[in-house]
Structure 1
């Protein structure tokens, strides 16, 4: 568990350091890229499909667990 926190802290530190060096202009550039990526119709469609797949898998797992418990 400590390793997990260490990795998270390291990533946060590196992200902060990179952001501080890059400045606001680079931050805006990266932010705009990810906004356009996130709002891309193909990505939206993939997100919707992934949610459906997860719901289906969850339902199957619950059904299997209930069957095993009886």
Structure 2
């Protein structure tokens, strides 16, 4: 194998091992944080505004 391929495989293996150590608890913590952020009233408002602006731009340039 080429040295570059070996380095890539080593990085992937290290990432897998470190990720497995973090475990399910950390995954649950991250998903809970993201979900609470995504469902925040301010973020919902910003998403709605961005969607309206995109629709307006699509109609203008279509």
TM-score (norm 1): 0.61
TM-score (norm 2): 0.68
Partner of residue 35, structure 2:
35
Give ranges in structure 2 of 5+ residues lacking alignment. 1-11
Report the aligned-residue RMSD: 1.7
What is the total number of aligned residue pairs between the two structures? 48
Give ranges in structure 1 of 5+ residues lacking alignment. 1-12, 63-70
Q: Which of these two proteins has the greater Rg computed from alpha carbons?
A: 2
Alpha-carbon distance between aligned partners in 1 of 2:53 and 2:19, rounded to the nearest angstrom? 35
Post-superposition offset of 1:22: 1.4
Deviations 1:31-70 (A, max 9, x none): 00000000000000000000000000000101xxxxxxxx
Partner of residue 52, structure 2:
52
